[in-house]
Amino acid sequence: MQFKDQMNTIFELQKTPSRIVCLVPSLTELLVDLDLETSIVGVTKFCVHPTHLRKSKTIVGGTKNVHFDKIRELKPDIILCNKEENTKDIVKKCQEIAVVHVSDIATLQDTLDLILQYGTIFSCTEKATILVKNIRTEFRKFELFIANKETLNVAYFIWKNPWMAAGNGTFINHMLTINKFKNIFINKERYPEVDIDQLKKKVELILLSSEPYPFKEKDFTSFTNKHKELQIQLVDGEYFSWYGSRLLKAFDYFKNFRKSLD
């Protein structure tokens, strides 16, 4: 059967893949929630959900530095990559080993489309359909909650030294929009470097994400001490940047977070 991934690359599968290498942490979690854990043979060191998985599967490196010899030894039927998480060179080298599917996620709908396609590729259509239905239900409930909330100008930081924020075209930006957060870097590249001293007149809320840079309480305290006039919050980056089945929990998290700002 022929398929087209989210990069419009056409590939063919003769049978349902039974040996999967996944180089995308959020999609590894999705595979498990689609009851495909037994088919996963290789993951990255960042595939932290579920927590036990890295003890039972072969770790083939990170998302940007991959051990291709380990992947080759696993004899995968398919390798799952992502445009943002993995480099073009990684995708190219993986294509020399097995069929590769590359996802490209910028919106909630992109995620739902991917889940449904995984349902077809991995012969778990019913589970994928139910998951998509449940995510849509949670989203609709959140839309009702957020409707009367005011829009806040925000900056969402993913890194420091240099300071980097989420910009346009990112899944994070889409999640911010859903939360009625107006990203002040909407007209910037995907992850612009930022001079934080220039933020004061533009932003109402600073969000420090737990990933990829692990902002913690000490970073919050340091930032607050230097910028007492700014409202600053630590946020769980997985709910803003992980597409896939984590979205089932994301909207409750967003609801509680918005309540905490009232």
Shared domain for 152 and 100, answered yes or no, is no
Shared domain for 99 and 40, answered yes or no, is yes
What is the DSSP track for 117-151? HHHHHTT-HHHHHHHHHHHHHHHHHHHHHHTTSPP
Is residue 40 a part of any domain in this protein? Answer: yes
pLDDT of residue 243: 95
CATH assignment of the domain containing 13: 3.40.50.1980
The pLDDT tens digits for 80-120 are 999 999 999 999 999 999 999 999 999 999 999 999 999 99
The total domain count for the chain is: 2
Mean pLDDT of 161-190: 95
Shared domain for 7 and 60, answered yes or no, is yes
Whole domain around residue 203: which residue ranges?
A: 148-261
Is residue 225 a part of any domain in this protein? Answer: yes
Secondary structure of residue 77 in the 3-state scheme: coil
What value does the CA radius of gyration of the chain take, rounded to a whole number of Å? 19
Secondary structure of residue 257 in the 3-state scheme: helix
* Domain's final residue, options 76, 104, 132: 104
Whether the predicted pLDDT of 228 surpasses 90: no
Shared domain for 94 and 157, answered yes or no, is no
* Domain's final residue, options 104, 138, 173: 104
Is residue 125 a part of any domain in this protein? Answer: no
pTM of the full structure? 0.96
